[in-house]
Amino acid sequence: MSKNHVHKTLYGLADANNFYVSCERLFRPGLNGKPVVVLSNNDGCVISRSNEAKPLIPMGAPAFQYEEIFRKHGVEVFSANFALYGDLSTRMMNIIGRYTPDMEIYSIDEAFLKFDGFENIPLEEYMSGMKKEIFRAIGIPLTIGIGPTKTLAKAAARIAKKFPGRTRGVYLLDTPEKIDKALRWLPVGDIHGIGRRISAKLLQMNVQKASDFIKLSDSFLRKRFGIQVVRIKHELKGNAVFDLEMPQPRQRIATTRTFAGHIRDFDEMRERIATFTSVTAAKLRKQKSACNFITVFIRTNRHRQDLKQYAGSITLKTDYPTDSSIELSKLALTGLRKIWRNGYDYKKAGILVSELVPAGERQLNLFVPTDERHHRLMNVIDRLNLRYGHNLLKLGGQDPQRTWKMKQARLSPAYTTRLTDIIKVYT
DNA sequence: TCTGGGGTCCTAGGACCC
DNA sequence: TCTGGGGTCCTAGGACCC
């Protein structure tokens, strides 16, 4: 590489606007311009808001406390339909991936991009073209920020979102002057990686804007807030610390649920735990991992100070790395018996597996039983569940009669993913 | 009477993200 | 009556060892 030809790397962030709400709007153009919200599982709290809804309802608001507001302002309310959102996300990411080879899918609605060797390409126009293509093809509106680091790309996207008229949804932070101006505008709480706790402490010290924040010394930040916050400062100053991350197997996998009502009965809980465990084991097999530990937890409703509170949790070691629903269910139920206490109204429970290793590795261990039959059975279960819908095939500990229903009073049809009907499998 | 110091490993919990 | 779910990384402090 010649000296006078410096290759300047830039990062981009493509972020779908109010993603879940935008997905719901695709099939109902009448919702455009209206306040719309999407609720979490059990219709518990607000997890996505249209721009019109944002001044009315805070993020995470418990739905039952806002029924009055919903009515008064004619807010359109939807139960979450994650199958639909996942499908639209995949389509969106496929298009984004055609614009640069270096891309990191950061979440269901966000992707980081890396522009290496794009010196002769006008990035604003290029990304503006991508934004238009995605809107034309899928109907999802995007905001795009570009800058010398991931943290600055995030900040640029925030600016693009805040000033849609002037930026047309795409903003490039490429000169020291623009970066300086952006940092003087950006509130510390809006810096990526500075959350509620740390921004409250910074505000107490009268550190209000990102431009104030980057003046603090490394040693002070290190001592007071830890190494991660120092890294964020460097990123804001234009030194890339965080690179794109390649997809890797999860280190932990969890399945947890808050119940629509509550559970007092051990057998009911045993059934729920067995189901969570087989869902978790299927997730393990999907990423071809096996786990060394399994954690079971149950807890009462922590929002109800008037009720007796109890939270129990236990972590058990597997005999050898496993992805077997049967092995893991046995362990999970052993754990559940140990932490179960009679007389409480349980509101939430879950399963978490950890210390994952690649599933193939365990066969290198001569002392491990081959459990070939387990393996074949698990394979069959996974294939049938994949084909006919989630969780149709159940294990012994799961009550075959019982279908656990989330509260989803306001579900929209799953237009792109609908399965015709439930298929019963008799064995 | 005297009451070290440094290293490693592990875990729980904090803080953050979408 | 009704308050989500699934992740990551880091740190402090205890246990243990020499």
A284-342 pLDDT per residue, tens = 999 999 998 999 999 999 888 788 888 888 898 888 889 999 999 999 999 999 899 99
Kindly report the number of other CB atoms within 10 A of residue A410's CB atom: 16
**Residue A198: what pLDDT?**
96
- CB-strand contact A45/B, under 7 Å: no
d(CA A39, CA A13): 26
The packing angle between helices A325-339 and A266-286, to 10°, is: 140
Residue ranges, comma separated, of all CATH 1.10.150.20 domains in chain A are 176-236
Q: Where in chain A is the domain with CATH 3.30.70.270?
A: 10-172
Q: Is the CB of A408 under 7 A from strand C?
A: no
Least confident range of A73-82, A163-172, A181-190, A319-328: A319-328
Mean pLDDT across A20-32: 95
Q: Is the pLDDT of residue A43 over 60?
A: yes
- Report the distance separating Cα A106 and Cα A15, nearest Å: 10
Q: Which nucleotide is nearest to A67 (CA to C1')?
A: C2
Residues of each domain in chain A carrying CATH 3.30.1490.100:
253-388
CA A249 to C1' B2, in angstroms, rounded, equals 54
Question: How many CB atoms within 10 Å of residue A424?
Answer: 8
Do A199 and A189 contact (CB within 8 A), yes or no? yes
Determine the average pLDDT of the residues in A168-181: 97
pLDDT-derived band at A247 (thresholds 50, 70, 90) equals: confident
> Which residue's alpha carbon is at the shortest distance from the C1' of C8?
A251
Per DSSP, the three-state class of A134 is helix
Indicate the pLDDT class of residue A210, thresholds 50, 70 and 90. Answer: very high
Supply the pLDDT for residue A409. Answer: 81
pLDDT at A399 over 90: no
Q: Do the Cβ atoms of A333 and A397 come closer than 8 Å? A: yes
Q: In this predicted structure, what is the pLDDT of residue A373? A: 63
Cβ within 8 Å of residue A91, ≥6 positions away: A137, A138
A303: CB within 7 A of chain C nucleic strand: yes
Domain A176-236 belongs to what topology? DNA polymerase; domain 1 (1.10.150)
Q: Is the CB of A45 under 7 A from strand C?
A: yes
Query: What DSSP string runs through A135-154?
Result: HHHT---EEEEEESSHHHHH
Q: Is there contact between A197 and strand B, defined as CB under 7 Å from any strand atom?
A: yes
In this prediction, residues A116-144 reach a mean pLDDT of 97
What pLDDT, on the 0 to 100 scale, is given for residue A320? 87
Residue A396 has pLDDT above 70, yes or no: no
| pLDDT range class, residue A33, cuts 50, 70, 90 | very high
Nearest to A209 by CA among A184, A175, A176, A234: A184
Q: What is the rounded distance in angstroms from the CA atom of residue A279 to the CA atom of residue A149?
A: 38
Q: What percent of chain A has pLDDT over 70?
A: 85
Band (A421; pLDDT cuts 50, 70, 90): very low
Q: Domain A10-172 adopts which CATH fold?
A: Alpha-Beta Plaits (3.30.70)
Could you tell me the CATH superfamily of domain A253-388?
A: DNA polymerase, Y-family, little finger domain (3.30.1490.100)
Check if residue A283 sits with its Cβ under 7 angstroms from strand C: yes
pLDDT at A425: 35
On strand B, nucleotides with any atom < 7 Å from a protein CB are 12, 14-18
% pLDDT > 90, chain A: 73
Q: Is strand C in 7 Å reach of the CB of A130? A: no
Q: CB < 7 Å to strand B — which of 136-155 in chain A?
A: 154
What number is the average pLDDT over the span A387-394?
51
**Chain A span 205-244 residues with beta carbon within 7 Å of strand C:** 222, 226-228
Q: pTM to 2 decimals?
A: 0.89
A348 touches strand C (CB under 7 A): yes
For strand A76-79 and strand A36-39, is the pairing parallel, antiparallel, or unpaired? parallel
Chain segment A334-381, per-residue pLDDT in tens:
999 989 999 999 999 999 999 898 887 654 444 445 556 666 667 666
**Nucleotide nearest to A61 in CA–C1' terms:** C3
Instruction: Provide mean pLDDT across the span A58-73.
Output: 95
Local confidence band at A420 (pLDDT 50, 70, 90 cut-offs) = very low
